[in-house]
Amino acid sequence: MYKDSPKRFAAVVGVLLIVFSFQANYELADSKVTYYIYYGTLLLSCVVVFYKKVRALGCIIMVLCFTVGTMFFAPTKALGFAVIIPFGYYTARYQKIQLEKALLCTFYVNFVLVFAQLIGWSESVYKFTHYNNEGAYISFIEEGLIFSGFLPQIRPSGVFPSPTYISSFCVLFFALVIATNNFRNRFVFFLFGIHLAMLGSTVGLCLCIISIPLIKINTRFFLLILGYIITLAAFAFYLPEQFSYNFNFNEIGVSFFARFDIANSAGESVVQQNLVIFLLMCLTLFLGLFKIKRISALVYLVPFAIALMLPALVHNISFSIFYWFLIGGVFGTLVTEVNMHNNIDRDPSHLNCRLKKLPNPL
């Protein structure tokens, strides 16, 4: 147990550094020293996690790949190709508890901060945001429920620099925690639904819609949808202007289809920017079908496939280490889930329960 403690600690540190990579790019951009300290610490965490699997030679090759990569690319690209995808896969497969703890901790902190930003708790809660900070927030506690027009309050982003990045975290949390077969915390399902509604994002709406057919797999998804609907109803009743701003379905539709406007966007549509990644993910998921031995296991492919595709439809994430981690984590989780479902009839130990032996009546 104690022998694996450094490895577990490194896994948690690595996951947290990747989750906050968006914020780090803003905060550390002016200092090259701290910038490379950040990526050096991330690389070291990955090396510690991998050490027993790939041994010294593999770790040396990994560091060399990173070093050579930085000569031709940015550190994010070098880390993504050489380290982050394997790290995401390994943590999802073999450090699942540490991965879940790190993401749950981030979710709880983010939930509290999003709520504080939404009600206008104080000016300090908006210091993490880096978009459209012009204007002033309105404190619901002191001035009542008034539409502020202050974007960081209308579209809170928690500990992330903008709504786009908190949406990416929600996809990651959905795929690696919520959608997994072993996760049983009903309270988190309900909280996550509330959280998605508070964000007022299109991605949150998509995740809620995706959860409807998943109720057949896991009835706890009903609590996610319930939390989302209750919060949405509260917005419609108490803050109708904010509800209209965030959930104008005509604008949502225009914005969504504009991302597919390949003919008229002159190479600027999100789909065009991520087209190669999008096609590679489709091909990889298609090849993954051959690993599924039971037709009923196909249903487990759906949330993970959507988790890979959704961020590629939101913004350009081609060389984001966050997305590379999502790729590795999703495939690691998918392999675990499909293997468990394929073997559920042959090996009852895959069921998270143990049958007590009945005493022999003879």
Distance CA 98, CA 345 (A): 28
What does pTM read for this prediction? 0.81
**195 band by pLDDT with thresholds 50, 70 and 90:** very high
Give the structural domain span for 238: 2-350
With beta carbons less than 8 A apart as the criterion, state whether 333 and 172 touch.
no
Distance CA 47, CA 11 (A): 10
The secondary structure of residue 359, as a DSSP letter, is P
Predicted local distance difference test score (pLDDT) of residue 1 = 46
The residue type found at 273 is Q
How deeply is 242 buried, as exposed, middle or buried, from its count of CB atoms within 10 A (0-12, 13-18, 19+)? buried
Nearest to 15 by CA among 37, 52, 36, 41: 41
**E strands, 216-321, in order:** none
In a domain, 101, yes or no: yes
pLDDT over 90 (residue 216): no
Q: How many residues does the chain have?
A: 362
pLDDT digits (tens, 9 = 90+) for 10-45: 888 889 888 888 777 776 656 667 777 787 788 788
In a domain, 95, yes or no: yes
In a domain, 362, yes or no: no
In a domain, 229, yes or no: yes
Q: Distance between terminal CA atoms of the chain?
A: 41
**How many CB atoms within 10 Å of residue 29?**
10
In a domain, 334, yes or no: yes
Percent of the chain with pLDDT strictly greater than 70: 63
User: Which tokens hold the place of 356?
Assistant: 């007590």
pLDDT over 50 (residue 109): yes
User: Which tokens hold the place of 358?
Assistant: 């009945």
**362 band by pLDDT with thresholds 50, 70 and 90:** very low
Distance CA 243, CA 90 (A): 41
**64 band by pLDDT with thresholds 50, 70 and 90:** low
Ranking 36-45, 131-140, 330-339 by mean pLDDT, the lowest is 131-140
With beta carbons less than 8 A apart as the criterion, state whether 225 and 137 touch.
no
pLDDT digits (tens, 9 = 90+) for 156-169: 888 998 888 898 89
Q: In the chain, how many domains are there? A: 1
In a domain, 208, yes or no: yes
Q: How confident is the model over 201-214, as a mean pLDDT?
A: 87
Predicted local distance difference test score (pLDDT) of residue 361 = 39
In a domain, 356, yes or no: no
